[in-house]
Structure formats: C-alpha cells, structure tokens
Amino acid sequence: MFSVRAGARGFSLTELLLIVAVAGTIMAISIPIMNDLSASVKLNEAARLIEREFQDARLQAVKTNRPVRVRTNCPAVGYVRTVEVLGTAADTAANRCLNTAYPFPADDNLMTRPNYDGPVRTIPNAAAVNTVTFEFRPDGTTMNVVSGVAQLMAAEQTVTITRQNRSRTVRVNAAGKIQLQ
C-alpha cells in the first residue's frame, strides 16, 4: 500500500529535541501569564458579585417601597446578605444574617415581615471585602449604616474587594449611584 521513496526520511533526533525545547520554553513563559490572568478573573468575579448585590438591593427597595440593607461579612467574613429593614431591634440583631433565624425564601405572607431578605451569598474565590452596611431607600437613595443607625452619606463610600494582593473597588454615593472600578 504505502511506498517509501528512496532518500525520504523523517526528523532527526536533534530536530525533535530542538522542537521540544522551544515548546517547553513557550509553555514556561506562558504559565505565569495564565496564573496572572486567572487571578484577575477571580477578583473581577468577586467584585461583580458585590456590585450586583448593591444594584439588586437598590432595585428591590424601589420596587417594594421598603428600605433594604446590604451587609458585607454577614454572618461571617466572606459572606454578603441583603435584608429588609424592619424598624425593630431585629435590624441590629447578631442573628439577622443567619438563614436559620431569617430564612430565604420568606414565608410568602405579606402580613409578616421580613419578606424581602435575600440569600446569604458566599463571596467567591477567597476574596475579602471590608465590612459595610448600606441602606437603600425606596426613593433610590443610599444611606450609610453605623451601629445600626442609618445616616446620610457625607461623601461617596468605597468598598474594597481584595484577593492575592490585588484589589477592586465599588463606589456608592448618596444618590444611589453604584460604580465598579
């Protein structure tokens, strides 16, 4: 079937070793670049989660005509949760972020509250975020919550998301503008 021409030959051992050496060098150069790219993608994923949680909470407050708070590092470091403002001592309770005490989804009875608590979300990829609580009002504005009391924001607030010595920020202002940077 197959015929071999006289004088035809394959690659020499030297040529094969040279090709393997060039391929190995290219792979060795690309590994740190791929690791760097992967770290950047993971940080961006965590930053987008925080930004989306703020955006969703603001929309929820406007839609339901009820104030909603977003709490980072709640119930522990590495988590975030959106909770409805009840106007009671429960707003500052230590168990306010626990699904066991305030389950998601709620009981669907509009006469009992809270009805608009979100799930406890894990901040992905071992990213860290500073602890903040923002209250989004039904008119779309934002307030900073300090020691359980909603206060007017004097200046734009910055939330920093950090992973492996890199960081991204989410900026929130009193008018309700939320911006990922």
The CATH class for the domain spanning 13-180 reads alpha beta
What tens digit of pLDDT does each residue of 127-172 get? 999 999 999 999 999 999 988 888 998 899 999 999 888 999 999 9
pLDDT at 52: 95
| Alpha carbons 36 and 48: distance in angstroms, whole number | 18
Task: Give the per-residue pLDDT at 97.
Answer: 86
What pLDDT does 30 receive? Answer: 76
Distance of CA 10 to the CA centre of its chain: 54
Query: Would you list the domain boundaries of the chain?
Result: 13-180
pLDDT at 1 over 60: no
> Could you tell me where the beta strands, DSSP code E, fall in 109-181?
121-122, 128-129, 133-136, 142-146, 149-152, 157-163, 166-172, 178-180
pTM recorded for the entire structure:
0.77
Q: Is 155 helix (H, G, I), strand (E, B) or coil?
A: coil
- State pLDDT tens for residues 71-91: 999 888 999 999 999 888 888
Q: How confident is the model at residue 33 (pLDDT cuts 50, 70, 90)?
A: confident
